[in-house]
Amino acid sequence: MTRAWRLVLPAVLGGLLAGVWIGARCERAAARRMRREGPRPERMIKMLRRQMNLRNDQVEAVRKILESKRPEFQAIRRDSEARMTALRVEIDEAISPLLDEAQKKRKYVLRERWNKRMKESRPR
C-alpha cells in the first residue's frame, strides 16, 4: 500500500463510520420523537390546528387529505431507502478490497453493531 493510501484510507473509513454513527443517532432521535408525539400525520394536524386555529371540520378535511397521500409518501420513502442501501453496498464493495484482514473483521463487527442498533431503534 502506498503512503498516500495509508493517509487516505483511515480518513475515508473514519468519515464512513462517522456517517453511520450520525445516521444511527438521528434514527434513534426520530424513533423517540415518534413514540412521544405519535404518527406523523397526527403531529402535522396538531401543529396546524395550533398554529392556524383550524376548526374541527377543517381538521377532519386535512386528516383525509393526509391519509389519501400516505401511500405516495410511503412509496417515496421505500424508493429512497432502497437507493441509499444500494449506494451503501456500492461504497462497501469499493472500500473492502483496500482493507487488510484485521480491518475487514473490525468492519464486520462495526456493521453488526450498527444493524443491532437500527433494529432496536425502529418504532414498534
What is the DSSP code string of the chain? --HHHHHHHHHHHHHHHHHHHHHHHHHHHHHHHHHHH--HHHHHHHHHHHHH---HHHHHHHHHHHHHHHHHHHHHHHHHHHHHHHHHHHHHHHHGGGS-HHHHHHHHHHHHHHHHHHHHHS--
pLDDT given for residue 123 in this prediction = 57
| Alpha-carbon gap, residue 48 to 38, rounded angstroms | 15
| Local confidence pLDDT in tens for the 124 residues of the chain | 677 777 787 777 777 777 877 887 777 777 666 555 556 788 888 888 999 999 999 999 999 999 898 888 888 888 888 888 898 889 888 988 988 999 889 888 988 888 888 777 665 5
pLDDT given for residue 11 in this prediction = 79
pLDDT given for residue 57 in this prediction = 95
| Alpha-carbon gap, residue 46 to 36, rounded angstroms | 13
pLDDT given for residue 33 in this prediction = 65
Parent domain of 95: 3-121
CA-based angle 98:118:110, to the nearest 5?
A: 30
Q: Which amino acid is at 2?
A: T
pLDDT given for residue 64 in this prediction = 93
Q: To which residue does cell 432521535 refer?
A: 29
Q: How many domains does the chain have?
A: 1
| Alpha-carbon gap, residue 124 to 120, rounded angstroms | 9
